[in-house]
Amino acid sequence: MNDVIVAATQNKHKIKEIEAITKEFGLSVISRSEAGIPDIDIVEDGETFEENSYKKAHEIMKLCGKITIADDSGLEVDFLDGAPGVYSARFAGVSGDDEANNKKLVGMLKDVPYEKRTGRFVSVITMVFPDGEKIVARGEVEGHIVLEEQGGNGFGYDPLFVPEGYDRTFGQISPEIKNKISHRANALHALREKFKKKEESL
C-alpha cells in the first residue's frame, strides 16, 4: 500500500491528522497544492457528511486523476437536535471562524446542565479511485461539551469537547492520544479495513 493519495482538504490541521494516521498504513498523503491542483472552492451543499465528503473527493479526483481522500466532519450536539452538524465549520456564519463558532455554541448551551450537554464528533472519510470506485468510512467519538475553552491543542470545537472516558478536552489531550481515539482516527481505521478487503479481493 505505497500509494500516494491526494487530500482534497485545504485544512492543514486535518491533513496533519490524516497523515499522522495513514503513514502507519504505508499510505503517503500529499496536499492539493502539491498535486498541482488549482485553488478552487468546492461548495459543500450536501445534507449529510457522506454527501459532502464524496463531493469533495470526487471533484478533486477528476482534476488530478489520482486516488483522492476527503473528510467531512463536525460536531453533533444532542440538545441542539444534532446541530451544528454539517454546518460546524460555518456555524456562526463565516467558514473557519473557530472563535465565533465556539462562542455561539457556548451561548446556546449556557443554561444546559453538563449531563445533558452530550454529543459526538463525526468524521466521514471517502476515498475515490480514478475508475469511479469509492470507499466510505464513518467514525465517531462520544463526549460532553464544556462551557469554557480548555487547552490550546487541536482546532475547531476541540477545546470544548471532553471525550468519553477522559476528564480533559481534545484541546488539552496530546495530539498522539487524540490521533488514537478521535472520530477521524476511527474513520481512518475503518477505511483501512475496507481498503485491505479491496486489496485482498483483487
Residues 67 and 128: their CA atoms lie apart, in Å, by 6
Query: Which spans in the chain are helix H?
Result: 12-22, 49-64, 98-109, 175-181, 183-201
DSSP readout, 37-52?
A: ----------SSHHHH
Our answer to whether residue 72 is catalytic in this structure is yes
- Indicate which residue of 39, 41, 45, 72 is catalytic: 72
Name the residue among 165, 197, 196 with its Cα closest to residue 181.
Answer: 165
Cβ–Cβ under 8 Å, residues 52 and 44: yes
Dist CA 77 CA 83 (whole Å): 6
Please state the three-class secondary structure of 90-111 as a single string.
HCCCCCCCHHHHHHHHHHHHCC
Residues recognised as catalytic? 72
